Amino acid sequence: MSSGRVFRFAPTPEHPAKHLFVFLHGCGATAQSMIPIAFKFQARFPSAALVVPSGFNPEARGGVAQDWYPTRGLHADNHRERVAAVLPDVEDLVRHEQTNFGVPSSRTVLIGFSQGGTVALEAVKAPGIAGAVVAFSARYARLPARGTPIQSRIHLVHGELDSVVSRVYAERAARVLAGLHVPVTLDIVEDLGHALSHRAISLGSLRLLQGIYEGRRATLH
C-alpha cells in the first residue's frame, strides 16, 4: 500500500521535540494542503515536531490528490469498516514518527480536517496512540459505544454552515463524549462552511493549548 509522501518539520528552534503533531488532510486533497495549517499550529507550539502524511488510498483523483479510505459507494453501514481497514497503517505511521522524534503517545496530537478528522477520531477509540485530537469539520464513522476506553482529549471545531458534514454530527459527538467522561470541547464557527478558516485554526490550537495546560495542572495537584 502506497502511503505517498510524508512531510516532516522539526521544532524551531533546534530543541528536542516536546510534542508530535500529525496532520491528516481532507478527502481528495493533498498533504501539501495541510502544511500552512501545520505551521500555524507550530507558531503556538514552537517545540512541536510536525508530520504531514499523504492519504493511503491512491485511487483518488489520478493519484495526485489522495483519500484515507475509498469514498465511492460509502454509506452508514460500511463507513466504520472502511476507516477500520486503514487504522493499522495510520497507527504504524504514528508509532514510527513517535520513535523518530522521541515523543511519547501522551504528547502526540492527531489534527485532521474532514475525512482526516474522522480517521483521527476513530484512531483514538483505542488508547495509547495520541493524547489529544483536534478534528475540524469531521464526524465519527460510528459514535463511541458506552465503555469505549478513550483516553485522549477531543477538540471539535465545526463550521456553522457546513453542508458537507453537518454541525449536528459534532454536537452529537460532544454529547456522547461528555457522557463517557472524555474531556471534550466544541466550537461552532459562525458563517463558516466545510472549510478551514484562520478563526477555526486559531480556535483549534487554542483549545489544544488550554487542554495541555489543564492536563499538566491536574497532574501537579
Could you give the residue ranges of the DSSP H alpha helices within the chain?
35-44, 76-101, 115-123, 167-179, 198-220
- Catalytic, out of 54, 114, 152, 205: 114
Domains and CATH numbers, the chain: 6-220 (3.40.50.1820)
pLDDT at res. 1 = 35
Cα of 128 vs its chain's centroid, Å: 15
pLDDT at res. 181 = 95
152 included as an active-site residue: no
Q: Which residues contact 1 (CB under 8 A, 6 or more apart)?
A: 56, 89
For the chain, 221 residues long, the average pLDDT of each consecutive 10-residue run is: 74 84 91 94 94 77 67 80 91 96 96 96 94 97 93 97 96 97 97 96 96 73 45
**What is the DSSP secondary-structure string of 188-208?**
EETT--SS--HHHHHHHHHHH
Q: What is the pTM of this model?
A: 0.92
Which CA distances in Å does 179 have to 116, 173, 221?
24, 10, 25
- Catalytic, out of 3, 105, 194, 197: 194
pLDDT at res. 221 = 45
166 included as an active-site residue: no
33 included as an active-site residue: no
